[in-house]
């Protein structure tokens, strides 16, 4: 596992020597001031240690909050001088380990770290209680499109899909190839979501939003979306047939909008539609599937167990599908 | 394949109008290996065989010995690639090909042969494998872990329904890639792939099937612990027999041996010869299995970090 150690003291780094020498783990050291920017890049297979030695209680809390909200959310606290008077607070904020001065001097062993990781990951599957923030009003659009009328407001499952790395692809590829890639992705989406009534509703150049009808009870678009993540490598080989790996990011939300036929959507004013585009463009990492808490609340429990709490976006809690190994 | 009179007539005319008898004999030998036109037609060696008679005899022979599709595939290659440095314009070839497509076949440009159109018909030999001939094939074995215990706990009837679902899930992935179900018994079965890129198609099918089983366990499987399945792929020679006795060939025996000794639940295990055929983006997701004999088995499973 990749271990990121945020510390400003050399003696702390020595405590992690054994872990750094292990074949299965790597330790990267950063100054504590880099916590925020580095956290923006971390993936799920990362464990973070924050050394709070020398920090004031007032500056520790915001850092713990950052860790609590990070994509990884697996972290431990190094507290050589016993600064943290209420150790339980760290665990209440999601920490999985606490290393005091005595333990640090002995050094962190791989066996102990293995137990820490086990403890951290066991808490991820099944233990999270999802609150249910639903749209203020739900206007079910049904399980099929039969009853959906243009001009009326409905609650839909909204799936943002965007091609990743387009800057680089544009630089390296002809316009013809780009058109083919977009068409291929749209074909994949149409086929993948046909079973749950998914329709590409708005499509800009490299991204767009699919609508699936929502019956007010179940989010049905989640399984096809997970399938797209699982099968990405196969799709690259069998369907995209280009040497550059093609990936796409997805964001799923349940929200309200007035419905108009595809191609006649330019005058629609919908907070949910804006939100899902902003979510996809700004908050979802390449290749990632992110789901708002609103949408996840309507998913079966056993599915939501595969998602980790991510950062909030525009005050809406997000969950992200764990990365494939 | 039963070749209708009209197709035979078209083929005879195509052959007559496109080449001399000497070339026809070369074509027939490419199809059959050896071919004696004089012996077949009864003409003495000293008497030249008329064009039309030669073409008629060759078409009759390829049609009656079930080589008609190979013969037409060869004519297509003569037109496109040529033979002995010369390309041949074959009149009426389009009409012949259309006639074959109408009977439920499609042309597989990768293998350069006609195979069944899955949308119209699916038979276990793709409509082209011949009895007693040996082909290089890839096999995908499907095996449920702990079947006896599952049947004891949940009853034969419930498990049959679940196994039927499993069979459908795997078969869909396999048939989409032109593989065939060659045998299914209770809790597992065997799927076959041949022609070009059989290893890749077998692995792609198995990986997709594994993903489907993962999703099935996630949302629909009624078993509390989910359905635990082992998938195994091995390739090698196989003599085709329409009665199913080829299920006992060494290649298949070896597959079940790998399954029982090294197969892991929720995983796909592939033998050494299969891995190099894969695209790096996929092969890099396989992990080597440590075996005492160092036989180079690799495994893939759905794992999240």
A223, A234, A325: residue with CB nearest B204: A234
Architecture of domain B134-301: 2-Layer Sandwich (3.30)
Residues of chain A with CATH 3.40.50.2300: 2-137
**Closest Cβ–Cβ partner in B211, B281, B305 for A230:** B211
Distance from CA of B162 to the nearest CA of A (A): 19
pLDDT given for residue A197 in this prediction: 92
Q: Kindly report the CA angle at A116 between A111 and A118, in degrees rounded to 5?
A: 95
Contact call for B282 and A237, based on CB within 8 A:
yes
- Among residues B236, B167, B233, the alpha carbon closest in space to that of B200 is found at B233
Q: Where are the beta strands (DSSP E) in chain A?
A: 2-6, 26-30, 46-51, 75-79, 95-100, 153-163, 199-203, 207-213, 248-258, 289-292, 307-309, 318-321
CA distance B298 to B276: 11
pLDDT exceeds 70 at position B170: yes
Greater model confidence, B259 or A111: B259
pLDDT at B299: 97
CA closest to B281 among chain A residues: A233
Q: Which of B119, B94, B106, B107 is nearest to B7 (CA)?
A: B94
Q: In the numeric block, which tokens belong to residue B238?
A: 């196989």
Q: Do B304 and A325 touch (CB under 8 A)?
A: yes
Q: What is the structure's pLDDT at A72? A: 62
Instruction: Tally the C-alpha atoms within 13 A of residue A124's C-alpha that lie toward its C-beta.
Output: 26
The two three-digit tokens of residue A305, written as one number: 């167990």
**To the nearest whole number, what is the mean pLDDT of chain B?**
91
Distance CA A323, CA A286 (A): 11
In chain B, which residues have their Cβ closer than 8 Å to the Cβ of A45?
305
pLDDT value of position A37? 83
Least confidently predicted of B37-41, B90-94, B242-246, B276-280: B242-246
Question: What residue ranges do the domains of chain B occupy?
Answer: 5-103, 134-301
| Residue A163 dihedral angles phi and psi, to the nearest 5° | -70, 135
pLDDT score, position A133: 44
B303 vs A43, A227, A325: nearest CB: A325
CATH superfamily of A2-137: Response regulator (3.40.50.2300)
- Chain-chain contact of B281 with A230 (C-beta, under 8 angstroms): no
Residue contact B305–A226, C-beta within 8 A: no
Chain A hits for B207, Cβ within 8 Å = 234
Residue A245 is given by DSSP the state P
Closest among A133, A153, A145 to A273, alpha carbons compared = A153
Please choose, from the candidates A33, A32, A37, A61, the residue with its C-alpha nearest in 3D space to the C-alpha of residue A49.
Answer: A32
Q: Which residues pair with B180 in a beta bridge?
A: B192
Give me Rg for the CA atoms of chain B.
24
Rounded to 5°, angle at Cα B302 from B299 and B305: 110
Cβ-contact B221, B162 below 8 angstroms: yes
Contact A223 B219 (CB under 8 A): yes
DSSP H helical segments within A123-165, as ranges?
none
Q: How many CB atoms lie within 10 A of CB A142?
A: 14
Residues of B in contact with A323 (CB under 8 A): 304-305
d(CA A277, CA A30): 34
| Greater model confidence, A122 or B210 | B210
Residue of B284, B285, B305 to mutate, interface with A, max A Cβ within 10 Å: B305
How many Cα atoms within 13 Å fall on the side-chain side of residue A295?
32
State how far the Cα of B95 lies from the Cα of A22, in Å rounded to an integer.
69
Chain A to chain B Cβ contacts (< 8 Å): 52
Assigned token pair, A223? 């399984």
Q: Nearest-CA distance from A11 to chain B in Å?
A: 30
Per-residue DSSP letters for chain B?
Answer: -PPPHHHHHHHHHHHHHH--HHHHHHHHHHHHSS--HHHHHT--TTSPPPHHHHHHHHHHHHHHTT-HHHHHHHHHHHHHT-BTTB----TTHHHHHHHHHHTTEEEETTTTEEEE-TTT---TTTTT--TT-EEEEEEEEEEETTHHHHHHHH-HHHHHHHHHHHHHHHHHHHHHTT-EEEEEETTEEEEEE-STTHHHHHHHHHHHHHHHHHHHHHHT--STT---EEEEEEEEEEE--TTSGGGGSHHHHHHHHHHHHH--TTEEEE-TTTGGGS-HHHHTT-EEPP-TT----EEEE--B-
Could you list the pLDDT tens digit for every one of the 325 residues in chain A? 889 999 988 888 888 888 888 777 888 899 888 888 888 777 666 889 999 988 888 888 888 888 887 766 689 999 988 888 888 888 888 888 999 988 888 888 888 888 888 777 665 533 343 343 456 678 888 888 888 889 999 999 999 999 999 988 998 889 989 988 998 999 999 999 999 999 999 998 899 999 999 999 999 999 999 999 999 999 999 998 788 899 999 999 999 999 988 777 877 888 899 999 999 999 999 999 999 999 999 998 888 888 999 888 888 999 999 988 7
What distances in angstroms separate CA B125 from CA A121, B121, B249, one per listed residue? 48, 11, 16
Chain B contact set for A44 (CB, 8 A): 304-305
Sheet holding A75-79, edge to edge: A26-30, A2-6, A46-51, A75-79, A95-100
Tell me which chain A residues have a C-beta less than 8 angstroms from the C-beta of B204: 234, 237-238
Contact: B285, A302; criterion CB under 8 Å: no
Question: pLDDT at position A132, please?
Answer: 37
Residues A306, B305: C-beta atoms closer than 8 Å: no
Q: Quick one: tokens of B197?
A: 């890129």
Residues from chain B that touch A322, judged by Cβ atoms under 8 A, are 304-305
Q: Is beta strand A46-51 parallel, antiparallel or unpaired with respect to A75-79?
A: parallel
The strands making up B287-288's β-sheet, listed across from edge to edge, are: B180-185, B188-193, B134-144, B229-239, B267-270, B298-301, B287-288
CATH class in words for A153-321: alpha beta
Average pLDDT estimate for B148-152: 93
Q: ipTM > 0.85?
A: no
Residue with tokens 């990267």: A28
Model confidence pLDDT, tens digit, residues B90-109:
999 989 998 898 888 888 77
What pLDDT is stored for residue B75 in this prediction?
93
Q: Which residue of chain B has the CA closest to A246?
A: B281
β-strands B134-144, B113-116: how paired? unpaired
Contact B10, B99 (CB under 8 A): yes
- For residue range B260-296, list pLDDT tens digits in order: 999 999 999 999 999 999 999 999 999 999 888 888 8
pLDDT on residue A128: 40
Distance separating alpha carbons of residues B3 and A313, to the nearest angstrom: 66
The pLDDT value recorded for residue B3 is 87
Residue B6 CA to residue B68 CA, distance in Å, equals 13
Q: In this predicted model, which residue has the larger pLDDT, B7 or A268?
A: B7
Residues of chain A with CATH 3.30.70.1230: 153-321
């Amino acid at each position: 596992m990749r271990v990121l150690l945020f510390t400003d003291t050399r003696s702390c780094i020595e405590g992690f020597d054994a872990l750094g020498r292990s074949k299965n783990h790597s330790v990267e050291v950063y100054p504590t001031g880099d916590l925020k920017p580095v956290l923006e890049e971390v993936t799920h297979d990362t464990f973070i240690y924050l050394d709070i030695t020398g920090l004031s209680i007032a500056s520790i809390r915001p850092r713990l909050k950052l860790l609590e909200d990070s994509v990884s959310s697996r972290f431990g606290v190094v507290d050589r001088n016993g600064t943290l008077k209420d150790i339980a607070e760290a665990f209440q904020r999601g920490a999985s380990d606490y290393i005091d001065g005595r333990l640090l001097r002995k050094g962190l062993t791989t066996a102990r770290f293995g137990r820490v990781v086990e403890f951290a990951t066991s808490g991820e599957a099944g233990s999270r209680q999802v609150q249910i923030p639903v749209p203020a009003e739900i206007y079910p659009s049904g399980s099929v499109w039969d009853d959906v009328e243009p001009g009326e407001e409905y609650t839909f499952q909204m799936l943002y899909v965007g091609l990743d790395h387009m800057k680089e692809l544009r630089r390296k590829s002809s316009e013809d190839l780009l058109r083919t890639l977009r068409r291929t992705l749209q074909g994949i989406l149409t086929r993948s979501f046909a079973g749950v009534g998914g329709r590409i509703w708005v499509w800009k150049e490299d991204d767009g939003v699919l609508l699936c009808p929502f019956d007010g009870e179940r989010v049905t678009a989640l399984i096809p979306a997970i399938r797209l993540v699982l099968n990405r490598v196969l799709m690259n080989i069998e369907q995209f047939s280009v040497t550059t790996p093609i990936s796409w990011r997805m964001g799923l939300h349940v929200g309200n909008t007035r419905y108009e036929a595809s191609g006649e959507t330019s005058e629609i004013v919908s907070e949910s539609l804006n939100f899902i585009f902003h979510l996809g463009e700004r908050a979802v990492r390449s290749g990632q599937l992110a789901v708002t808490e609103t949408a996840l609340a309507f998913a079966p429990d056993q599915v939501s167990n595969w998602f980790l709490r991510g950062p909030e976006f525009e005050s809406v809690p997000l969950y992200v599908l764990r990365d494939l190994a | 394949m039963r070749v209708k009179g009209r197709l035979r007539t078209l083929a005879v005319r195509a052959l007559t109008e496109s080449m001399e008898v000497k070339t026809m004999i070369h074509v027939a030998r490419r199809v059959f290996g050896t071919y004696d036109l004089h012996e077949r037609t009864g003409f003495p060696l000293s008497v030249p065989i008329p064009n039309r008679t030669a073409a008629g005899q060759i078409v009759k022979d390829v049609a009656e010995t079930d080589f008609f599709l190979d013969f037409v595939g060869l004519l297509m290659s003569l037109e496109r690639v040529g033979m002995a440095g010369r390309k041949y314009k074959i009149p009426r070839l389009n009409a012949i090909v259309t006639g074959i497509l109408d009977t439920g076949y499609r042309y597989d440009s990768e293998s350069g042969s006609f195979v069944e159109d899955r949308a119209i018909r699916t038979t276990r030999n793709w409509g082209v494998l011949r009895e007693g001939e040996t082909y290089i094939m890839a096999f995908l074995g499907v095996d449920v872990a702990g079947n006896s215990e599952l049947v004891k706990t949940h009853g034969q009837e419930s498990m049959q329904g679940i196994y039927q679902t499993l069979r459908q899930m795997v078969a869909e992935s396999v048939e989409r890639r032109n593989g065939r179900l060659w045998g299914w018994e209770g809790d597992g079965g065997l799927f076959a792939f041949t022609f070009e890129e059989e290893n890749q198609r077998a692995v792609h099918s198995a990986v997709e099937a594994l993903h489907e089983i993962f999703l099935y366990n996630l949302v629909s499987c009624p078993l509390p612990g989910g359905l635990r399945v082992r998938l195994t792929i091995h390739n090698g020679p196989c003599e085709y027999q329409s009665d199913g006795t080829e299920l006992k060939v060494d290649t298949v025996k070896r597959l079940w041996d790998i399954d029982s000794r090294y197969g892991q639940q929720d995983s796909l295990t592939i033998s050494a010869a299969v891995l190099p055929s894969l695209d790096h983006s996929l092969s890099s997701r396989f992990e080597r299995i440590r075996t005492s004999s160092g036989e180079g088995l690799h495994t893939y499973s759905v794992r999240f970090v």
